[in-house]
Amino acid sequence: MNNKYIFGGFIIVVFLGLMAYLFTQTNISYENNFTEIMKTDKTIKATGAWVKTKNYHIDKEKNLFSFYMIDDEGKEMKVVYKGTIPNNFESATSVVVTGKYQKGIFHASDILTKCPSKYEEEFQETKNS
């Protein structure tokens, strides 16, 4: 009966240690200044807008999607994502990419697009009425 308590306590300690480790690994910060992103080698969430004048490129053989983003200060950055283009990418008002900046290119592991909301349009119509 004593062995049950020792085993249970061991499981709890391992679980708490694992939770603490995972908590320290998920500390990803948001950054909308590409100059600061280019200085760090940590995983970061970059926010900006897609540069529509520079079309995106899809490489189906290598399964790569690349495009250019611009921050609030007008600094551009090339983004390469291993995967397919998000469904609503062309209508996005802003883009959030998660990844690392290496050798002049931001290598994204995830892309989140923010599209204009139909509810915002309805709010503007009622506000103007």
pLDDT of amino acid 118: 60
Spacing of C-alpha 108 from chain mean position: 7
Give the global pTM.
0.68
Q: Which amino acid makes up residue 56? A: Y
User: Exposed, middle or buried: residue 17 (CB in 10 Å: 0-12, 13-18, 19+)?
Assistant: exposed
Q: Which pLDDT value is given to residue 65?
A: 93
Q: Which residues of the chain have pLDDT under 50?
A: none
Reply yes or no on domain 29-128 having CATH 2.40.50.140: yes
For the chain, give every domain's residue range: 29-128
